[in-house]
Every structure is written in structure tokens, then in C-alpha cells.
Structure 1
Amino acid sequence: MATTEQRDVDPHTAVESLRQALAEAGIVLPSLGVDFGHPGLNLVEMGRVRADMAERLAEAVRRGGRE
């Protein structure tokens, strides 16, 4: 079940955490960064990604991060 509860997380910390987790799965999102256009919302910009990386990301999510 998905949760709608929002936690106060530093977007810079979230970006680095996500970047590291993706790298461990062999996935690189070149546009990954903090969205500075909406500083109060703590948004993370994931940007554009090649189709092959999107497929790898989908597979990693389906596996739950397990190899």
C-alpha cells in the first residue's frame, strides 16, 4: 500500500542517496539534481533519461533492488 505521508527530507541528501543507489544498480540519470525553482517544496529533478536507462530503472524497481 502506498503512503501519502510526506517527510521533511533535505533534497540534497535525497539526491545523493538516490544517485548512489542508482549507481549500484548500474543506472545513471545525468539530469538528477535539486529543483531550485521551488525551494520550499524540497523537489528532486530527475530530468530526462535514455530509454535503456528507464528500462534498467524499471527492472531494478521491480526486483526491489535485489540482484
Structure 2
Amino acid sequence: MALVEHSSAARTVRDAEEARDELRAALKGAGVTLPSLALDGVSLVGDFPRPLVDLGRCTPQTARQLAGALRGEAR
């Protein structure tokens, strides 16, 4: 892989990490923690990664908290 391609791939992954972190902070502000929130490892593989933010699994209680936050309900 050429240096330019490597740099572009690194920027793409960094952008996905920033998006994950923004989501984590917003969820925390709404009182919701998704314990498995991460980047999907498989989507990072290859010369031209297409990173995906994996929301992961959560308990039914956390799912309800997330639903409430999306509806704008107070904690």
C-alpha cells in the first residue's frame, strides 16, 4: 500500500473513532451507556477500510433508557 493510501486509511479509521467517541459522550449525557460500543474489527481490515461503529449488545433496561433518550424523555 502506498504512503498516501495508508494515510487516507488512517484518517478514515480516526474519523470513525471520533464518531464513536462523540456518540459515547452524547449517550452518557443522556444517561445511557452502551458497554459494547466499539469499532467493528472486521470493517477495519484491508487496504481501504470502511469502518463501522458497532453499537453492540445491551440489557433490556439499557435499551429502554436509549429509547427514552431518543424520545427526549427526562432521566
Equivalent position of 2:7 in the other structure: none
Q: Which has the higher contact order (CA 8 A, sep 6+)?
A: 2
Cα RMSD (Å) of the superposition?
Answer: 1.9
Greater C-alpha radius of gyration: 2
Query: 1:19-43: per-residue Cα shift (whole Å, max 9, x none)?
Result: 1001111111110011121122220
The separation in 1 between residues aligned to 2:35 and 2:66, in whole angstroms, is: 13
Equivalent position of 1:44 in the other structure: 53
The separation in 2 between residues aligned to 1:26 and 1:62, in whole angstroms, is: 13
- Are 1:32 and 2:37 an aligned pair? yes
Query: Normalization by structure 2: what TM-score?
Result: 0.68
Number of equivalences: 58
Percentage of matched positions with identical amino acids = 38
- Give the 4+ runs in structure 1 shifted more than 4 A: none
Query: Normalization by structure 1: what TM-score?
Result: 0.75
Aligned residue among 43, 62, 66 for 1:53:
62
What 5-or-longer segments of structure 1 have no aligned partner? 1-7
